A and B are shown apart, each in its own frame.
Chain A
């Protein structure tokens, strides 16, 4: 937003992500206040960006339409009495009203005095508002709190009625009105204010932390409830990635996605992590990088300070209460709590009531329950470990780090499951003779061996019996084979056993059933799958069929027994993650069963840093390899040029500071295979210029036709999307006599 149009301070546009739909929706509510009046209650946890969102709505209403007067007011915690609030609110309302009519935001931003306000009202002949100011002054002089309060909150309604200009009231942190009292010792003004809002002819939007704004009473049906959740994953990643680029923080998009899930899309937390990374000069390339930063921020950083201020835990007993709530899944009764906390009942109730208003505790249904907020939970646990259990800070942090690493690792696996259907075809096509531990295809064995521990890495599973994967050459989904009753999503992979013989006898088919739904595969699913497989197998001629079910949530006991009897492979998301990692690591290494084939393969790995001319190191190495293999000089030159091109493309598209490019060269009997892998942003390898005439391309840019160059120089070029980046695979065959290796392969 341009600086001269900003009325209420907002964060930079580059740090505000998502919320497009919410802003539009509320803007439309406001703009349509001219036609009818209604109320909206915007609810959401602290720090989700409600205030930022509303200020942006206000700016739009101020500048983009002229029919409805927008008024934004944020309740403050600092009001000691009703007179302070009434004075603040009334003057703010009048300033914003005049500012809108005069199209002069300075009236708001400069906070003009009461005298000047009166002068303006006189000049504009807004006698109605002058009268309210006069009544206010009179009430203040006489100390009549009730009159002052009623005058203030009724002013918008009277103004609308008398001036015939609609108003849209945005009352931010409305829940704080519960802390403003008409009389000392009396109830807060929240309920009475609500009555006024609902009775009048003014459209309004109020905000709070919990759905139960009226403390146990439901909101009237005339009030629309809008719930604001954390930022969506894409918006969270966008926010963090943008900050990473500005702050020069190296990061991995997959880890940012994980961070977004851990931090539940809370913009304040997301920004805190990035600012901490910048401050400490750290990167966020691995799960551990993120978890370390997170714990430090909680224990000693801004996140911890902010949470401490909000929770305002003033005693160890209060900490015990919170910790008990956090640890109890089903909630605790008040009696149990009084017993545990050793607190005075009144003091405890006040503490709990405050946390309920903040949306951290819920006392409906007679039990005190913690309302999920992972970050606050971790903070409370850390405080409890250090303050109550007296553990050293380092030990308390380590405990939480271990838990967070496990949780993050599991979340990584769960995320993969969301994309199983999309990524499975690409994974199947990477099957090329790798020998994969059988335990990754037998869920019950995997669970039995690892006791359901979901955070095992591939190093633990490499021993044991292996399954030789075929070479899958293509995939299809099973649309045309589907039974009337829909079962699992089926993907069929076609290929050959990796013996190098492409004949009928070696043809294989893998029928893979995928269940993404949040429920374990049960016996019904198994029977459906068996029927679907039957239909598919009746249409294909090959006898070598492997059946495999991948399920996000695992399998029931009965399903596993039946699947085991039927010889159907079973894999959950954790096994799948490990399997994918092993398949990717093996790359395109062909592993033919005959020993002669195995012995003739030589692999070389070069890791290139991002520095000038680093690609020449790889080029020199591949020159030696190529000459040894028997390529002629021209072919070697072609390979070198293609490799250099691939490396600079990988550097360019990595966009990860201090990233590396991994170059693997595999020298076989008849071919040289080069794998180039980078870290970071994927790039679209389908980008193609319509013309091959590079002179017609504009300027000194190298956009896209480097890929054409590689395809011209090598016999095969393909891209594979892999975890955390992109892999380029290039192959050059040794020329046989009479064969023209300069023919382009498309």
Chain B
């Protein structure tokens, strides 16, 4: 795993990971590593919060798709939250929204996550 994990919040039932301002190959890689750590520790409910993310590029999105696959393989649950309008549109356009639940706020996502069995 690269770098120290600082941008996350662990709750009883799930973990929230906050993405960087620019989701590119490097930050995407770090995000993926962080998810791997939590999945390996048995934390299968993950919310990725994009409140700080202004820009994503296609490589970052590819990495997100990879994370979605990994969570699915581990029978986990993954939500996205707080996407800015432009990024939400991009995810819609690319079809990501069909495979993942996207929430307006972190609180909404956490609420749904904890209610999920």
One of B24, B62, B89, B93 near A701 (C-beta < 8 A):
B62
B26 on the interface (CB 8 Å rule)?
A: yes
Q: How distant is B31 from chain A, measured CB to nearest CB, in Å?
A: 12
Which of A40-48, A59-67, A591-599, A704-712 contacts its partner? A704-712
Q: Which of A657-716 contact B (CB under 8 A)?
A: 691-697, 699-702, 705-706, 708-709, 712-713
Q: Mark B47-85, 1 if CB is under 8 A from A, else 0.
A: 000000011111101110110100000000000000011
Chain B interface size band reads: 20 to 34
B3 at interface (Cβ–Cβ under 8 A)? no
A371 contacts chain B at the CB level, 8 A cutoff: no
Q: Which residues of B contact A (CB under 8 A)?
A: 22, 24, 26, 54-59, 61-63, 65-66, 68, 84-87, 89-90, 93-96, 98-99
The 9 closest A-B pairs by CB, nearest first: A693-B95, A637-B86, A706-B58, A694-B94, A702-B58, A702-B59, A700-B62, A712-B93, A700-B66
7 pairs from A and B in contact (CB 8 Å cutoff): A641-B87, A648-B57, A648-B58, A694-B95, A699-B62, A700-B66, A708-B94
Taking a contact as CB atoms under 8 Å apart, the answer to whether A694 and B66 are in contact is: no
Contact B95 A695 (CB under 8 A): yes
Q: Which residues of A contact B59 (CB under 8 A)?
A: 648, 700, 702
Q: B55 to A694, Cβ gap below 8 A?
A: no
CB–CB A705/B58 < 8 A: yes
Residues on A with beta carbons closer than 8 Å to the beta carbon of B55: 616, 619, 637, 640-641, 644
B91: min CB distance to chain A, Å: 9
Chain B residues with CB below 8 A from A692, complex form: 93-95
Contact of A699 among B22, B66, B68 (CB under 8 A): B66
In whole angstroms, how far apart are the Cα atoms of A699 and B95 in the complex?
A: 16
- Chain B CB within 10 A, most for which of A696, A700, A709, A713: A700
Determine the distance from Cα of A742 to Cα of B62 in the docked complex, in whole angstroms.
23
Q: Considering residues A634, A637, A712, A713, which has the most beta carbons from chain B within 10 angstroms of its beta carbon?
A: A637
Interface string of A635-652 (1 = CB under 8 A from B): 001101100110010000
Q: Are A705 and B90 in contact (CB under 8 A)?
A: no
Does A613 belong to the interface (CB within 8 Å)? yes
A612 at the interface (CB under 8 A from B): yes
How many angstroms from the CA of A445 to the CA of B96 in the assembled complex?
62
Chain B residue with Cβ nearest A711: B93
CB distance from A520 to the nearest CB of B (A): 51
**Which of A616, A700, A712 is in CB contact (< 8 Å) with B90?**
A712
| Chain A residues in 8 Å Cβ range of B98 | 693, 695
CB distance from A518 to the nearest CB of B (A): 47
For residue A706, which residues in chain B have a CB less than 8 angstroms away from its CB?
A: 57-58
Closest partner residue, chain B, to A612 (CB atom): B26
Residues of B near A612 (CB, < 8 A) are 26
Q: Do residues B22 and A616 form an inter-chain contact, with CB atoms below 8 A?
A: yes
Query: With a CB–CB cut-off of 8 A, which chain B residues contact A638?
Result: 86, 89
Q: How far is the CA of A645 from the CA of B96 in the complex (A)?
A: 18
